[in-house]
Each structure stands twice: as structure tokens, then as C-alpha cells.
Structure 1
Amino acid sequence: MTLKADPAAQVRLLDVQELDSTVDQLRHRRASLPELAEIAKLETSRAGLADRVRDARIVVDDLTVELRKAESDVEQVRARRARDRDRMDQGLITNAKDLQRMTHELESLERRVSTLEDAELELMERMEQAQQELARAEEEIAATDARLADLAASQAEKESEIEAELQAVVARRGPAVQDLPADLLALYDKLRQAKGGMGAALLRARQCGGCRLTVDPQELARIKAAPADDVIRCEECQRILVRTSESGLGGRQAGTGD
């Protein structure tokens, strides 16, 4: 059974479609803001930077412990060396064998101090490198955070503007659908959901405004012969086809009032 609707109501359906298409476009704009893509990319990058900062801080902390131990070891050996020297310098060791043993021990302590000092120096160099790496990572993460804050502010501003436009369009839809036949509106909404947001299209110059295909002559003749209040569906895409003076049918058309 063919759905019936006043030709003027069918034409008004195009206004509703335009509003709904605008809403879809605005929502797409909001979901496709360039800030969103950059924020996602930077957040991934920041996660890597956070790992770098964590790892660099662990290295610095570990080297700090090693360096303190190295400094302590050096100080202990230096203290022992100084104590032995003082004993020898003060003439407290008179036995020849003890003196020889002490001399050998001092030589060993000198070598030990030299070895420990070299190790301490190496640790200090590694510490400097680790601190530089930590500082670089922290600078990069700070710059990333600053950029993320700027992007978030820009995103919020644009979303606010889009939301204002969206609410204005949504507010116009209520009056646009008012008094439209419930069955016509229900069919339109069902088709719009199934057809990528477009449920009704203008038949213009013998072409469907939905699928953009030209209506074949036989189908065009059927449409032309149909009563003005018949709700016509595109043979190809099944969208509601609204007839107007632009449809290329000639004679009396929907919504013309003639």
C-alpha cells in the first residue's frame, strides 16, 4: 500500500532533511577536530616520554647510591692511609719488619685509592650523563604538556562554538517537523538511519538527490503519473523522492499548488 502525504508536507521533509544533515555535519566536525588527532598522537608520545623520565630517574637514583658508596670507600682507604703515614712520620714504628710491612701496606693503599678514585670518577661521569638524559626527558615532557594544554583549550573553544551552532539547528527542527504526518516522519527517520543520514531527497532534473542516479524513462513515467500525494521512493536507493517543479516531470508537481 502506497503511503500518502500532502505534497506540501513532502516538500517540508526536505527542510527537515537539510536540518538533520547540518546536525550530522556539525557532529562530524566536532568528532574530527584536528586537535583531537594531535592530542592522541602527543598522548602516545608522552607515555613514551614518561617511561624515559622514569627510567632515567631510576638510573640517577641507582648511580647516586653507587657514588655514595664509592665516596665512602675512598674516604675509608684515605683515612687508613693517612693513619699509617702519621704513625710512620711520628716514628711510632721502630721494628724493621713492621716498618717494611707498613711500607708495603702504604703502597697497596695508594694503589687502592687510585683504583677507587678512578671508579668514582667514572661513576661521576655516568651520573652527569644520566642527569642530562633525565633533564632532557623532563624538558620534553614539559613541552609536551604545554602543547597538550594549548590543544585542549583550542579544542574546548571550537567544541563550544560547534555546540552553539548545533543547539540552534536542533531548536529549529522541532517547528520543522511539527504537524508532519507521523507515518511520513517515521518512514523518513527509519530510512535516514539506514541510508547514512539521508532519508529524503529531491528529484531534480530526473535525478535522485540521494544516490545521484538518473531515473530511467519507464520509472519516470510512473512517477509522473502517480497522484501528487503519493510518497514516491527511489527505485535504486529506496529513499523518499520529493517531487517539485525542479524534478523535470512537467505538469502539476508536488508542492506547487497548481
Structure 2
Amino acid sequence: MGGVYRFLLTPRWWGINVFALLAIPFCVFMGSWQLSRFDARVDEHRTATKQAASYRTEAPRPLDGLLPVDKRTSGMQTTATGRYGRQLLVPGRELDGKSGFYVLTLLRTGSGKALPVVRGWLPGPADAAKAPVPPTGEVTVTGALQASETPGDNGVSAQGGLPAGQTGAISAASLVNLVPDRVYDAWVTLNTADSGMKAVPAKAPEGSGLDLKAFQNLGYTGEWFVFAGFVVFMWFRLVRREVEAARDAELGLVPEEQSPAVVV
């Protein structure tokens, strides 16, 4: 390499070149990995959607045979028999673009545990007077099996200090201090809502939807590719500046440094 490009072989530029050669493929690799994570979440979302559609046509299975709830069993049709007990309201839930609340009733089963059952949704602020009284006597419920909710995920409220008779999340951890029963670490949303309420559709398993985390992966993909392009841009810019400085020096266009002032 001759002429003005000999500076590329100097120790200083060796360091710059090695950094660029390592940084560019690393950024491309990380960007490709983040893109693969986004693609995987898209595939999971499609699979979960197809899975939910197929589950609606399947015969319901006994509850105990589907526990614990995972990505495979979430959304499956299940059936349980028992007697309704304590009823709670779950405020701040949207359905069809409207704000309302779930009516959640504990079904005491023969196993000695209570199954949280979402009997339906009603519009407006949570109001116990609007919630229909659960059926009496022994009942058999059929609906979609759901995993316990985690506050802060999928729009689940993390607020505390709710009025008595309300809960922010449907989970055994949230209900343990609200009801005297031992509670299943799962819940069911009825296929057909009880009197005057709308049925609550089953949710996709956690982590299988196109949520904020999925689009974060897409955003990180762009950031890594942009950074790779920035490294290339800066390398060429530095080379160009070095070449121009070298040519100016050959032509004698580089101004001489001023001599220090002489103190008399």
C-alpha cells in the first residue's frame, strides 16, 4: 500500500482498523439475533392463534389432567364441577374497546380447592350491585383454561388498595389473602357468560403474543444495524480526513505552527 494510504499501517490505525473489523460483524450478529427473536415471537403468536382456534372445537377435558398450565394447555377447553362461593370483581378490564370489569366467582370443587371462574364482563366502573348472583347448588362449568396472571403484564393492573371485594389480578398469589379457600394456580373463563354478561375471550399464553417485548426486539435490531453503519461511516470519514491532511502536507498547504512569543 503506497502513497497517502501508508498511514493505515501505523500503530494508531492498526487499533482503529481492528476495532472496526471486530465491531461491524459483532453489530451485524447482534442485530440478526434480535431479528430472529422477533421472528420467533411472530411464529409463536401465529401458533398460539391457531392453537386457540383448534381448542374451541375440542371436547373439554377434566381440570386436573391439564395442570399445571403451560403454553400447550393454556386455552384448552376444560370442565369442573362444584358449588360457587365467594365472588369478587376485577376492575379495569377492556372488552371490545370498552372499559369494564370481570365478575370472578370461586368454584369450590370436590378436590378441596377453589377454581377462579370468570363468569363474564360488564361495562363501567366495578359495582357489586350490577354483578349477577351466581347459581346455587352444584354446577358444572365449561370454559378455556388460563394461567395465573402477573401484575403489569398484558394490561393486568398492578394497583393496590382496591376496595373490599375486588382484586387487580387473577392469580392464586393475589387471592390467597382475599378468600379462605385454597385456590388453584389457574382460572377458567366461561364459553357462555352468565345472565346479562359478555363472555371473556381466552388470552394467548404469556410470551407468545406480539407484545411490547416483541417490538423491543425489533427496535434493538434497528439499533444494532444502525450502529454497524455508523462504525463504517466513521471509519471512512477518518480515512478521508487523514488522506486530505496528507495531501495538503505534500502540497505545502498545512499552515506552520506559530512560534512561541519571546519574552523580553
Q: Same fold (TM over 0.5)?
A: no
Q: Which has the higher strand share?
A: 2
Q: Which has the higher helix share?
A: 1
Calculate the TM-score normalised by the size of structure 2. 0.34
Structure showing greater Rg: 1
Q: Which has the higher contact order (CA 8 A, sep 6+)?
A: 1
